[in-house]
Amino acid sequence: MKKALALVLTLALLLPAAVLGEETVDPYGPVTDGDPIVITVGREESANIVYEEGENSENNYIVRYLEEQLNVDYQYAFSVDTSSYTTKVNMAIASGDFPDVMNVSYTQLVQLVEADAIEDMTEAFATYASPSLRKCFDSTDGLTEALGTFDGKLMGIGDIQPGMDAVPVLWVRGDWLEECGLETPQTWDDVVNVAKTFLEKNPGGNVNTGIAVSSDYYQPNGGSYQLNSLFNYFGAYPKQWITDDEGNVVYGSITDECREALAAINGLVNEGVLNASLAVTGGDQCYELLANGQAGMFIGAWWCGQYPVVAILEGMPDTASFVPVIAPLNPDGKLVVCDKSPTNTYIVVKKGCSEEVKEAVVKTINYQYDLDQSQAEGVRPNGMDSNFSWHYYPINVLHCDFDAKENQIADVMKVIAGEMDYDDQCGDGKTWYNGYTTVMEHGLRYAFDTNLATANAWGWATGAWEVERNADLIEHFSEVTYADTPSMERLWTAMETLEEEYFLKVIIGEASLDDWDDFVSEWKSIGGDTITAEVVEYVTSK
């Protein structure tokens, strides 16, 4: 943190000096007045993105807008599906033949730094980053910049994802609660009772499990169909580096608390509260369990109010509903959450690129951040009914204030309460407000019939509001580090496989916790002790 603070102070000192000669730098101005600056880009595609008719990732209204504003020509060296992107980048790094700019993981960033294959972006970022983008980076308290900094040089410009994603929310069929005469669950026993009652009373006539869970049972960065809150109830934080009660750095998957959590979760499988087939159940299958009325609960992030909830409810009778709940609360009445890293990927610029390319990269990010804040209001060709996604961006990373969703939903509620003007919200806030108020006034079916985007906005706002309005029930802490260590690249895959296979077998009853000590010993012997020592060294050196 000392190094992060020093970096932030250094950049702050550079702020007033964002001047070239006597000319003040415009963070949004064209890079050149002559021929367009060509930038070759490596990017990943998302198969779920919908474009305007005749457009695609390389030719869409956002790309054209940025090219016009900055006098830049973005040329995609490769743009591949998410499933193959990591392999593509690894091959590019190995060959040394990679584009001017691409997104890489932390491990790949370290490789590129050690190979002296990428540009130092310290000065370019300090000079050209817009005030709004700086505010975004400030929201991580210097952590994002620290992760991308090596020997005092900013080598990778990290993305920033919303911190609210890490908070697990229990999504429950509200109509079933009412039909079964149940209150909204709060405690562990409440959650178990709701699941068992759903199984016993069988609302809808098709219930065969309580909580739909996938084989991806613990998701540190947030997701859907997980068990995060059930582990966290016991003070267990698998896959995360934390400190124990004595202040020692430990890996959360090998603690006594994690063992206790696994025992309790296995008990829930035996009781039918969790689907017994979860070890071989994917996200699509969990969706079907919920959509077919076979399960009435799942655990996921706030954004699950849009997917899968809105998607499921569209095909159900209007009486069906899901309600988000912060549960189960621990005996102290809290949901304790280990926060996610704000940064998962890093923008890097190839060694030898011109200063104009570096300028163009930072200015592109300036625009992309602002476009996300406004949801491209004023840029969409057919108004706000046009399709839009941050995946439209040529440098397709998301920069979102770490506390953006908390602030956004708080503003929506201020507008509803008459404490804030509608136009003072960000663009996405306006979308949420429109969706939330439409459904509150006219119902979800009206929103479906009007515009699916309106229903989606209601889903996002509903999940975010449950987290924000219960902020006093949620206790946050951070991992001791989000950085990978030198030995992880060669050792972590085997360690991760060992952990996931053993945990899933324990959860479904195919392995015994009598073997816990053997699991821990093996984990340590195949790399755990080595990596733990590296994490301790990294943490104590900061």
3-state SS string over 39-68? EEEEEEECCCCCCCCCCCCCCCHHHHHHHH
Question: Scanning the structure block, which residue is given the tokens 């959360």?
Answer: 252
Percent of the chain whose pLDDT exceeds 70: 96
Question: Scanning the structure block, which residue is given the tokens 């130092």?
Answer: 120
What pLDDT band is residue 16 in, cutting at 50, 70 and 90?
A: very low
Delimit the CATH 3.40.190.10 region(s) of the chain.
Answer: 2-161+344-392, 165-339+479-540
pLDDT at 503 (0 to 100): 98
pLDDT at 541 (0 to 100): 82
The residue-averaged pLDDT of 73-101 equals 95
Cβ atoms within 10 Å, residue 361: 28
What pLDDT band is residue 21 in, cutting at 50, 70 and 90?
A: low
Reported as type and span, the H/E element at residue 104 is strand 101-104
pLDDT at 144 (0 to 100): 96
Q: State the pTM of this model.
A: 0.88
CB-based contact 64:5 (threshold 8 Å) = no
In angstroms, the CA 290 to CA 193 distance is 18
Percent of the chain whose pLDDT exceeds 90: 87
- Domain 2-161+344-392 CATH superfamily: Periplasmic binding protein-like II (3.40.190.10)
pLDDT at 23 (0 to 100): 61
CB-based contact 227:299 (threshold 8 Å) = yes
Q: What CATH number matches the domain at 165-339+479-540, 2.170.150.70, 3.40.190.10, 3.20.20.70, 1.10.760.10?
A: 3.40.190.10
What pLDDT band is residue 112 in, cutting at 50, 70 and 90?
A: very high
Query: How are beta strands 19-20 and 23-24 bridged, if at all?
Result: antiparallel
The residue-averaged pLDDT of 192-209 equals 96
Whether 9 has a pLDDT exceeding 90, the answer reads: no
Least confident segment among 63-67, 160-164, 538-542? 538-542
Instruction: Look at residues 308, 353, 285, 290 and name the one whose alpha carbon lies nearest to residue 124.
Output: 353
User: Could you give the count of Cα atoms lying within 13 Å of 205 in the half-sphere of its Cβ?
Assistant: 0
In angstroms, the CA 518 to CA 521 distance is 5
Could you list the beta-strand ranges (E) of 244-320: 249-251, 297-300
In angstroms, the CA 415 to CA 27 distance is 31
Q: What is the pLDDT of residues 29-60, one digit of tens each?
A: 999 999 999 999 999 998 878 898 999 999 99
Whether 534 has a pLDDT exceeding 90, the answer reads: yes
Whether 13 has a pLDDT exceeding 50, the answer reads: no
What pLDDT band is residue 287 in, cutting at 50, 70 and 90?
A: very high
Instruction: Look at residues 16, 39, 12, 34 and name the one whose alpha carbon lies nearest to residue 363.
Output: 39
In angstroms, the CA 91 to CA 113 distance is 16
Distance of CA 52 to the CA centre of its chain: 26
Reported as type and span, the H/E element at residue 62 is helix 61-70
Q: What is the pLDDT of residues 499-511, one digit of tens each?
A: 999 999 999 999 9
In angstroms, the CA 268 to CA 188 distance is 11
Distance of CA 298 to the CA centre of its chain: 18
pLDDT at 46 (0 to 100): 85
In angstroms, the CA 5 to CA 444 distance is 47
Distance of CA 494 to the CA centre of its chain: 25
Average pLDDT of the chain?
Answer: 93
CB-based contact 339:166 (threshold 8 Å) = yes
The residue-averaged pLDDT of 132-138 equals 96
Whether 536 has a pLDDT exceeding 80, the answer reads: yes
pLDDT at 489 (0 to 100): 85
3-state SS string over 243-266? ECCCCCEEEHHHCHHHHHHHHHHH
What residue type is assigned to position 540 of the chain? Answer: T
Query: How are beta strands 153-154 and 474-478 bridged, if at all?
Result: unpaired
How many residues are present in the chain? 542
Q: What is the pLDDT of residues 332-368, one digit of tens each?
A: 999 999 999 999 999 999 999 999 999 999 999 999 9
The two tokens of residue 271 are 């009781």
Q: What Rg, from alpha-carbon coordinates, does the chain have?
A: 24
3-state secondary structure of 424: helix
Least confident segment among 119-133, 166-180, 351-365, 474-488? 474-488
3-state secondary structure of 510: coil
What pLDDT band is residue 146 in, cutting at 50, 70 and 90?
A: very high
The residue-averaged pLDDT of 95-118 equals 95
Q: What is the pLDDT of residues 402-461, one digit of tens each?
A: 999 999 999 999 999 999 999 999 888 998 999 999 999 999 999 999 888 899 999 999
What residue type is assigned to position 103 of the chain? Answer: N
Instruction: Look at residues 537, 535, 542, 7 and name the one whose alpha carbon lies nearest to residue 241.
Output: 535
The residue-averaged pLDDT of 139-154 equals 95
- Top-confidence residue, 331 or 387: 331
In angstroms, the CA 436 to CA 458 distance is 4
519, with CB counted inside 10 A (0-12, 13-18, 19+), is: buried
In angstroms, the CA 447 to CA 442 distance is 8
